[in-house]
């Protein structure tokens, strides 16, 4: 199956953004929730009563949205959700004094014991790129090699029309 | 309902169930906190106590020192219902910590871990900020706690003690511990002594 150059770029972008979300979610899900609670507490912008709930829900959202995006299941919805989550991360980081005061410290977004550790400044840049790519993907009409293409269009994974 | 929509919904359900299952399965395969018998030298309280607290702590960490009265209060209040187990977790940035853990482990080998532990935390500022070698300070602590000082001094140069400490720290990291003091209260992971106290009292109030 031939693939257009533009499609190839957005296919890679979709898998990359999906992988970052899925990895961040899974790394946190496999660690005690108290670790992510401690990270959220450090940001100093959430009410303490919200933190246990957020620490348990956010990793599941990242994991599911990331995997849906990689698999291309409901890709426009998944991309829209990913862009919203990335925007929420940007707002959180932007409103926290931590970014200015100690932007070089580990953001804790990929768990504590995994191989990937990014500083607050680095994750801000990654979230910005994720937001732009996911937002663009949410308006895309073509999702090659996606579950959506197989399920709805039945054209071997190529979907050149709008998602239903 | 049209068949493509039905296919989309059913695929979504299967995919979600699969992804949730993967996480649950991986969690099952994760290591569990250690189960240590009554003869474990760094434990206090009966082995069959309804609340088992495993503490991962660093002797040079000020927050761990602040945890001492909280845990002592819990031990005094529920002497037969709470068991406390200490696990070494010397943090990387604390230069005096490895030797302090080594000394405490040597005290544990003479069944005097807890008095030495309390002393290290109570006098933490004195030894952690001391200029030069702290061995003299730890030898004095050992003498004051009634330890066999010759045996203690020999133990301080025993490299197998360092291995024990490192293995314990590595096992703790594998359980998700990355800061101190961290606790497993009946298997539930919490950070901070007050959270551990809350969790213990919640279990005991049932």
Q: For residue B55, which of B30, B72, B80 has the smallest C-alpha distance?
A: B72
Model pLDDT, residue A103: 66
Chain A residue with Cα closest to B22? A26
pLDDT in tens, A92-137: 888 877 777 766 777 878 877 677 888 888 999 999 999 999 999 9
Let me know the angle formed at the C-alpha of A89 by A81 and A28, rounded to the nearest 5 degrees.
85
Annotate chain B with DSSP letters as a single string. Answer: --HHHHHHHHHHHHHHHHHHHHHHHHHHHS-------TT-TTEES-TT-SEEEEEEE-TT-HHHHHHHHHHHHHHHH-TTTEEEEEEE---TT-TTHHHHHHHHHHHHHTT-HHHHHHHHHHTHHHHHT-SS-SHHHHHHHHHHTT--HHHHHHHHT-HHHHHHHHHHHHHHHHTT--SSSEEEETTEEEESHHHHHHHHHHHHH-
**Set of chain A residues whose Cβ sits within 8 Å of the Cβ of B8:** 74, 148, 151-152
Range in A11-20, A151-160, B44-53, B194-203 with the lowest mean pLDDT: A151-160
Model pLDDT, residue A156: 47
Model pLDDT, residue A161: 45
Beta-ladder partners of B87: B56
Which of B 112-151 lie inside 8 A of A, CB atoms? none
pLDDT in tens, B137-174: 999 999 999 999 999 999 999 999 999 999 999 999 98
What is the mean pLDDT of the segment spanning A33-42? 88
Q: Maximum distance among all alpha carbons in chain A? A: 52
Cα–Cα distance, B127 to B137 (Å, whole number): 7
Model pLDDT, residue A1: 59
Q: How confident is the model at residue A38 (pLDDT cuts 50, 70, 90)?
A: confident
Q: Which residues of chain B have pLDDT under 70?
A: 1-2
Model pLDDT, residue A153: 64
pLDDT in tens, A41-75: 888 888 889 999 999 999 999 999 999 999 999 99
Q: Maximum distance among all alpha carbons in chain B? A: 84
Model pLDDT, residue B68: 93
Chain B residue with Cα closest to A154? B4
Q: How confident is the model at residue A5 (pLDDT cuts 50, 70, 90)?
A: confident
CB contact under 8 A, A64 and B16: yes
What residues contact residue B64 under an 8 Å CB cut-off, 6+ apart?
B57, B58, B121, B180, B181
Using the predicted structure, report yes or no on whether residue A162 has a pLDDT greater than 60: no
Model pLDDT, residue A119: 86
Chain A residue with Cα closest to B7? A151
Using the predicted structure, report yes or no on whether residue A157 has a pLDDT greater than 70: no
Q: Tell which wins on pLDDT, A93 or A3.
A: A93
């Amino acid at each position: 199956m031939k693939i257009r150059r533009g499609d190839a770029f957005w296919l890679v972008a979709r898998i990359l953004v999906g992988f970052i979300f899925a990895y961040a979610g899974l790394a946190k899900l496999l660690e005690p929730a108290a670790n992510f609670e401690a990270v959220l507490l450090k940001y100093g912008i959430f009410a303490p009563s919200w933190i246990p709930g957020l620490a348990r829900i956010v990793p599941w959202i990242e994991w599911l949205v990331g995997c849906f995006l990689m698999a291309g299941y409901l890709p426009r919805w998944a991309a829209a959700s990913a862009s919203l989550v990335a925007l929420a991360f940007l707002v959180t980081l932007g409103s926290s004094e931590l970014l200015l005061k100690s932007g070089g410290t580990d953001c804790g977004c990929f768990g504590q014991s995994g191989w990937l550790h990014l500083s607050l400044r680095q994750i801000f840049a990654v979230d910005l790129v994720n937001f732009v790519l996911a937002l663009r993907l949410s308006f895309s009409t073509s999702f090659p090699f996606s579950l959506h293409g197989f399920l709805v269009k039945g054209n071997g994974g190529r979907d050149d029309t709008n998602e239903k | 309902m049209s068949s493509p929509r039905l296919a989309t919904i059913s695929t979504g359900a299967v995919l979600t169930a699969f992804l949730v299952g993967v996480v649950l399965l991986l969690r099952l395969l994760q290591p569990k906190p250690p189960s240590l018998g009554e003869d474990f030298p760094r434990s206090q309280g009966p082995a069959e106590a309804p609340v088992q607290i495993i503490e991962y702590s660093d002797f040079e960490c000020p927050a761990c020192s602040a945890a001492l009265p909280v845990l002592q209060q819990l031990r005094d209040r529920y002497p037969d219902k709470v068991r406390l187990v200490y696990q070494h977790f010397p943090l990387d940035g604390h230069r005096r910590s490895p030797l302090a853990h080594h000394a405490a482990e040597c005290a544990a080998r003479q069944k005097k871990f807890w008095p030495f532990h309390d002393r290290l935390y109570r006098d933490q500022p004195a030894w952690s900020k001391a200029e030069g070698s702290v061995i003299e300070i730890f030898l004095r602590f050992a003498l004051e706690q009634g330890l066999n000082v010759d045996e203690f001094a020999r133990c301080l140069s025993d490299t197998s003690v360092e291995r024990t400490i490192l293995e314990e720290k590595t096992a703790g990291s594998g359980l998700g511990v990355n800061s101190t003091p961290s606790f497993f209260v009946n298997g539930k992971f919490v950070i901070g002594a007050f959270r551990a106290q809350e969790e213990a009292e919640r279990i005991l109030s049932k």
